[in-house]
Structure 1
Amino acid sequence: MESSSISPVKPTSTSFASKVKALLMRAWRERWSDHQWGVHLKSVVNSCNGDSKELPEILLQQALVGPNPNALIIGYLQHIVLSQMIPPCSALNLIQKYDDISKPYCTIGLIELTDAIACNISVTSGMESSVVLCKCLQKTLHWLMMCILQSMKAMKDSQQQQEYISIIDAASVAALHIADNTTVQALLYVAMSEDQDNFRDYEQAVINVRGTLSQPVSDMLPSQTKQKVLIAQQTMSKVQDMALPSQPLCEVSHLGICPTINTLVTLEAVLNPSSDVQPFIDQLCVSERLLHLPRPSLYCEILRACFMGLNNCADTPEELKWAAFTYLKLPQALRYMKQQSPNQDIGEDLYQGLSELMNSVPLLDLVEIKLKCECLKFLIGEFSKNDLLDKAQTQQLMNRRSADCGTKIETSSHASPIQIIRNEQQLPKIIKGLSNFSHLDPGKESATLDNADASKTPSDMMSLLCLLTSGRNLDFILAVASSTGKLLGLASKLVKINEFAKQTQGEMGKMAQTRIMLFDISFLMLCHISQVYGLEIIAPSPEYSDSFFAHWATRCLPEDGKYKCIDNFTPTDQGKVDLLIQHLISGVDVNKLNITRMNEYCLNFRWLYKRF
């Protein structure tokens, strides 16, 4: 397009544009250096809060007024681009719109500016999106090819043959400089893969230039110019011949920490505590092959990631997730890996991995001091319990850890690893106790965590649920259940208890009070499970998908820190809402109302809050 077709600056930026033009006039009059220009321009941009992306348009409008470009202004534009005051693509995209080859010296000036910018782009500046930069470089080469093509076509009917030859020389040299850079070639490969349509247009321009060189018009070109065009095209064709490397770019087995394995372990431990272990195993096996990691190094990286997580976790819930993953889920994953590779000696590989981990003595000491227990010895014990290490290997590792540790750690009975291991043994009894619950059978003894499976009556169940929610018991039990794949079963039992505890018509006395307390505790436990592990723990169960809690949580329970709007729903019985408000204001016990089911309390209280 013609220079005049460069769109004028928007009216909203008139003040900013006028100040830049005034500064430009002063710089031209006083012949400022590039650095002086940059310092004064930055103060104008900061004072006007202007969009610095408009600067290329303002400067090019002034530089391309006459038949020859203003070299001083072109130099100023080059300086603010290379000093990263403006993104390089904002200047290159504007230059690509210029196609007025009737002003050859302006075209040559822009080609030289393009060469200077594109060959000195910093790909780590962070000013441009990576894909945007890739596409911009491809369009820049496309523009250079179009300059060559249009110049060759215009030579037939023009008296400015020498000027057009200069354009072809400059564009060929610029294309060669840009495309000969290996970094640029990689970016062009990304652009080719990202946008096939634009790449085909670019490829067609290259083909058209090659075809024009074979026509009679090319006889007007000096042999040196032809040679420059051919060399540039050969260099640009390297992008299409590139292939992804089949070998790893670097060997990572010697690195202190393998980021890929560390990330996979962290995602599984913190974000997917209740997920199935098989996808995690598949990810580890794929990473092992891609990174060419020996199996002992893989085990070492997994274990190191676990201890780093235990050391770096900031709060108790995250610490429990890491402890449950390390001491319960990880041995389970390694046992599955052993079953999938029966011909491989996992014991020896795990022994070597643990031996390599023991070289990280400061890390192990920090974790054991923080958790107040001999964490590595407990983990080795879990591996031995799962038949991953034999007795001799177990004893050798424990003896080495004792020698490396020096001072013996005083083990606390409340340490997370100890509590996790202890609650793993109690969890089956707890689930059995919840399963055996029936209000028809008389209980024989009070419920405790050690005889949880003996809970039969509502009173026994009430005692058991109170024990589960006292202290940190519930957090430990939920962490164990999520890591062993039993969280869904535990939640289903609580839903069943919650459904049973909905008070029936006419029921009074102690049984009614027990039902209310059972409903209250089971309801709060289910709310806690849903908020920590997600509502999907409750919803998928077909048996309880129509339960009160699943219905209530879907409509009312906040998710991801966002509250749900109740305006889309209407109360099932407005009279009960009014009655509830009336009695609460008068101070009457809620249990004496005609609202006889606990689920109706929950369903109607939200309308009560809205009314207040």
Structure 2
Amino acid sequence: MKKMTEVETLLTGAGSIVENKEQYIKTVCHLRDHQPLDSVGRKHRFDSQTTPMCYAMHSLVMLEVNTHTTRDAASFAHQLLLLQKLQGLETMELYLEILRCSFIGLSCPEYQSYQELKWVGFTFIKVPVILQTIHSTVAGESATGESEDLLTAIKQLAQLTNLLDKADMQINCNCLEYLLNELCSKTNLLLERDAQAIIATRLQESNVLANIQKSDTQGAHPGNPNLILRAQPPVTSILKTLSNKNQESVLPVMSLLISGKSRDLLLAAAAASGSLHIFAQKFVKFNELSMDPQPGETNKMAHNRAQMFDISFLLLCHIAQIYGIDVVVSEKCETFVEQWMRENMPELGRVKAPLISTITDPNSVEEFIRQVNNPDIENKYK
């Protein structure tokens, strides 16, 4: 604004030196009056009166859930705070958009069960941490007590009956109740009495919760929040067990993780809590240790070592396929499994041309084929 006034003054005193001076003066006055930079800023700001939802927020949350699943919740919270400034969101609107995006993700059917677990882990494990981080940043580290902005946002969310009903039908539970219970138990942002009042209102207004509660006896849905929340404590205990170098004590835990339901739930809980990379690095360590025979190794020890290699390798491949190779591969990339993944494992969006840099020993190939064709291999994992 000041610069435009200066330009106008200079043009006025320029005399006949500047051609089309009058036209330039009119143009500068026009720009000054309309303030184009401010209008551009307003154009990209979120207006809840004219826009049903903050699409930038939804895109960012969806990208976080599907691509950056294992990222620390606090880092994403600061990214959301930056978006808040760019979009001109009030704190209450920021909370509401985070919650609404989470429930939209829960309500959408996924082709793979692990994709649904990503949304469940994000909503019920990561979102409370995100909200707490935002509150501490906005109100100050010393801020204590509940958040009025969050309470208002939750009340507005509770009014979105169709959205909540769709999410409840998809996950087969009262999703809002689970989230509020987590906020009350894990943070100090919401009072218990306020949560219970909102839950009671939700039960009265819902069109599907009565039928869902009646069908609970048929078994929990694989994506039920209760399952993934109950998987959090075992994640900590398993990490302690994996810190033990004794293969005999670690192998039963690894065998448990290789099975279907428990594996995906534990990995989803670890990813949402930010500890999946620790799991992966411990699996990498055991995979590397299992490649070298130990002095005085017995047949049983050799058998356990072979199992350890196979199970850890399969688990790492599974983690890499779902959460990305970067979760497994460190910057140094020194171990066999890390180098193999970096050079040979297919990745979406990355073209790889694996080359055999050394001449393969024919005897090793024949020995490998002989072991594969060995009928005793069927009893290996029994």
Structure-2 residue corresponding to 1:552? 340
Map 1:195-344; keep pairs closer than 5 Å.
211=17, 232-237=23-28, 243-245=36-38, 248-249=42-43, 252-254=47-49, 255-315=51-111, 316-340=113-137, 341-342=139-140, 343=143
Q: CA deviation at 1:324?
A: 0.7
Aligned length: 342
Question: SS in structure 1 opposite 2:173?
Answer: coil
Separation in structure 2 between the aligned mates of residue 583 and residue 520 of structure 1, nearest angstrom: 17
Structure-1 residue corresponding to 2:220? 413
Counterpart code for 1:327: F
| Pairing partner for 1:392 from 174, 188, 193 | 193
Q: CA deviation at 1:248?
A: 2.6
Question: SS in structure 2 opposite 1:560?
Answer: coil
Separation in structure 1 between the aligned mates of residue 86 and residue 121 of structure 2, nearest angstrom: 28
Cα gap change, 1:568 to 1:468, in 2 (>3 Å): closer
Q: CA deviation at 1:565?
A: 2.2
Question: SS in structure 1 opposite 2:197?
Answer: helix
Structure-2 residue corresponding to 1:197? none
Stretches of structure 1 lacking an aligned partner (at least 5 in a row): 1-209, 214-228, 440-457, 592-612
Cα gap change, 1:435 to 1:251, in 2 (>3 Å): closer
Q: CA deviation at 1:538?
A: 2.7
Structure-2 residue corresponding to 1:472? 261
1:304–1:357 contact (8 Å) kept in structure 2: yes
Q: CA deviation at 1:562?
A: 4.9
Stretches of structure 2 lacking an aligned partner (at least 5 in a row): 1-15, 375-382
Separation in structure 2 between the aligned mates of residue 555 and residue 335 of structure 1, nearest angstrom: 40
| Pairing partner for 1:524 from 290, 310, 314 | 314
Counterpart code for 2:115: E
Cα gap change, 1:292 to 1:554, in 2 (>3 Å): closer
Q: Does 1:438 align with 2:234?
A: no
Separation in structure 1 between the aligned mates of residue 285 and residue 367 of structure 2, nearest angstrom: 31
Separation in structure 1 between the aligned mates of residue 99 and residue 60 of structure 2, nearest angstrom: 12
Cα gap change, 1:295 to 1:237, in 2 (>3 Å): closer
1:503–1:512 contact (8 Å) kept in structure 2: no
Cα gap change, 1:286 to 1:581, in 2 (>3 Å): closer
Counterpart code for 1:371: I
Map Cα deviations across residues 540-584 of structure 1 (whole Å, 9 max, x no partner).
Answer: 366xx422222222222222265632336224xx3xx30133346
Map Cα deviations across residues 57-92 of structure 1 (whole Å, 9 max, x no partner).
Answer: xxxxxxxxxxxxxxxxxxxxxxxxxxxxxxxxxxxx
1:288–1:298 contact (8 Å) kept in structure 2: yes
Counterpart code for 2:336: F
2:92–2:149 contact (8 Å) kept in structure 1: yes
Structure-2 residue corresponding to 1:356? 156
Question: SS in structure 1 opposite 2:106?
Answer: helix
Cα gap change, 1:337 to 1:230, in 2 (>3 Å): closer
Query: Is the deviation greater in 388-397 or in 311-320?
Result: 311-320
Map Cα deviations across residues 363-405 of structure 1 (whole Å, 9 max, x no partner).
Answer: 1111111111111111111111113212111211111111112
How large is the Cα RMSD of the aligned pairs? 2.9
Structure-1 residue corresponding to 2:302? 512
Q: CA deviation at 1:413?
A: 2.4
1:373–1:415 contact (8 Å) kept in structure 2: no
Q: Does 1:540 align with 2:330?
A: yes
2:46–2:54 contact (8 Å) kept in structure 1: no
Q: CA deviation at 1:356?
A: 0.1
2:325–2:341 contact (8 Å) kept in structure 1: yes
TM-score normalised by structure 2 residue count: 0.80
